Amino acid sequence: RAPAPPAPGAAVPPRPGGPPQQLSSAKAAALQEVQDAMSGLQEAQRNGDFAQYGEALQRLDDAMNRYSETR
């Protein structure tokens, strides 16, 4: 059975396997900040350093906000 068509005005997700989207240089830089923040978070967790973990969470939150706001 085929899936129901989306409601009028609904966002349609991209098809899996479609061409990859090219990120702008600003968006790519923001994504790198997110990845770096995640690495810092994982390192702090491995070290059991809760002060570093809290700082890493803040860096991740800031990086995610920048990523969301970047075009």
What is the average pLDDT score of the chain?
86
Indicate whether 64 belongs to any domain. yes
Indicate whether 1 belongs to any domain. no
Q: Is the pLDDT of residue 59 over 80?
A: yes
Indicate whether 19 belongs to any domain. no
**Assigned token pair, 13:** 């997700």
Count of structural domains, the chain: 1
Indicate whether 15 belongs to any domain. no
> Do residues 41 and 53 make contact, with C-beta atoms less than 8 angstroms apart?
yes
Supply the range of the domain harboring residue 56. Answer: 25-69
pLDDT digits (tens, 9 = 90+) for 17-44: 777 778 899 999 999 999 999 999 999 9
Q: In whole angstroms, give the CA distance from residue 31 to residue 4.
A: 34
